[in-house]
Amino acid sequence: MTGNVEIKVLFFAGLREQLGLPSIQSKLQAPLTVASLQQQLASQGAPWHVMQSEHLLCAVNKEIVSPEHVVRAGDEVAFFPPVTGG
Amino acid sequence: MTGNVEIKVLFFAGLREQLGLPSIQSKLQAPLTVASLQQQLASQGAPWHVMQSEHLLCAVNKEIVSPEHVVRAGDEVAFFPPVTGG
Amino acid sequence: MFSVKVQHEDFNAGKEYQALTSVGAGAIVTFCGLVRDHSAEGRIDALTLEHYPGMTENTLQQLLEHAGRRWSLLAGRIIHRVGRLEAHQQIVFVGIASEHRQAAFEAASFVMDRLKNDVPLWKKQHGQQGEHWVEVKESDRQAGAKW
Amino acid sequence: MFSVKVQHEDFNAGKEYQALTSVGAGAIVTFCGLVRDHSAEGRIDALTLEHYPGMTENTLQQLLEHAGRRWSLLAGRIIHRVGRLEAHQQIVFVGIASEHRQAAFEAASFVMDRLKNDVPLWKKQHGQQGEHWVEVKESDRQAGAKW
């Protein structure tokens, strides 16, 4: 699948605060891996450089995925720092 | 210390039932180890032969002791099977 | 058999335990985590717990099911609170019922170790040093990796 | 800090847990043992628990103190019931409060493993096969020896 895909991206905890927003709706060029999505977001200048952190985790449709995971149209993508619950 | 010592001996659980009594008061020749006390009790004929079991535990004054422990006048001695609480 | 709740409201640990007594278990282990009033860095006034609605519940449910495949369990419950929680308040309840104690102890311990590594929940700490997001502890990472 | 009770009356596990929440703990682990309604040999109707008055309490207290030397604990409680207990009734409560969860889990598990080996308590089982004194399980002996 190629062309533009509409993707919702959520941010949580410290990352949400650093970016100053809980989510964005993005039109991006597909096919697209999580790693390249993260890179594209990180390249948008301040404060987006915080997306460069290799410690960030990514979930697609509420399941943890690896950086190689391919994002599809309609997916809900989330980036967040390592978890600290319990 | 030698001579006769007055000792209370308690029995619990299955051992108490096999002997048909919860305790005895005994005058015994001192010095006396737990092992020899157990042997003396066991040699009194039925049903006392059940005291021969090497699985029995012994407490003196409510602390577990080894067979070599020396019993003294006024001690409270208890014999019982391996424990199964919890 | 397995139930999960994510809520701001406090929970009654006694009632949660009671709910586990109806399954004929021989052993019930519960864990409760509470907000401590201090850490190595000083006084703690409160924590704010953030979660990812939907994913947090799913991941907790998967965690109980994972424990249920690994040990022979009769029932399991997790409640995790979110939002601002003051010092000494309850944060999390984990209850595991099984026939024998070893399975209950291990499964409850497993759930807590993995919860701290795998479930989308984040703690912000408010205290003597202002407020900051809690860092991952190396000891928690190791505890999660041992299973 | 450490409290022990041996009694016939039932206990309220929720209240026992509550009593442990006043010490500023970050982690509270509780264990409850209940009378199962079956074993490998068939139906169980009830258990009768016999103890050695005085020694049972002393040994339980020593067990908590031993745990308190081995782990960093804030509080610990044991209640062990004696007399006739029907299927599904509660037998024993162990509650441990500490700053961190690993100490609480390990200490509670240690107390149960050692209780089953060291504390003068004996179970008679009433059920399908009549009544008999419960035999020591090899798995319990091993669990007690591992600490």
Question: Residue D67 pLDDT > 80, yes or no?
Answer: yes
Give the mean model confidence (pLDDT) for residues D92-116. Answer: 98
pLDDT one-digit tens code per residue, C32-71: 999 999 998 899 999 999 999 999 999 999 999 999 999 9
Separation of alpha carbons C30 and C92, rounded Å: 10
Question: Residue A3 pLDDT > 80, yes or no?
Answer: no
Q: Residue A37: enclosing H or E segment and its boundaries?
A: helix A34-42
Chain A CA closest to residue C122: A84
Q: Give yes or no for a cis peptide into A67 (omega within 30° of 0).
A: no
- Show which subunits contact B, needing at least 3 CB pairs below 8 angstroms: D
Separation of alpha carbons B35 and C23, rounded Å: 47
Predicted local confidence at residue B3, as pLDDT: 76
**Given CB atoms, is B67 within the 8 Å cutoff of chain D?**
no
| Tokens, residue B18 | 């096999």
Predicted local confidence at residue A31, as pLDDT: 84
Separation of alpha carbons A84 and C92, rounded Å: 13
Predicted local confidence at residue C41, as pLDDT: 85
pLDDT one-digit tens code per residue, A28-80: 887 899 999 999 999 999 999 999 998 999 999 999 999 999 999 899 999 99
Residues D27, C31: C-beta atoms closer than 8 Å: yes
* Residues in chain C, pLDDT under 70: none
In chain D, how long is the greatest CA-to-CA distance? 48
CB C33 within 8 A of CB D26: yes
Residues A81, C117: C-beta atoms closer than 8 Å: no
Give the mean model confidence (pLDDT) for residues B21-34. Answer: 91
Local confidence band at A4 (pLDDT 50, 70, 90 cut-offs):
confident
Q: Which residues of A12-43 are buried (b: 16+ CB within 10 A; e: fewer)?
A: bbbbbbbbeeeeeebebebebebebbbeebee
pLDDT one-digit tens code per residue, D26-48: 999 999 999 999 998 899 999 99
Q: Tell me, what amino acid is at D11? A: F
What 3-state DSSP class applies to C17? helix
Please, what is the average pLDDT of chain D? 97
Give the mean model confidence (pLDDT) for residues B25-51. Answer: 92
Separation of alpha carbons D90 and C139, rounded Å: 35
**Residue in D59, D18, D3 with CA at minimum distance from that of residue B86:** D59
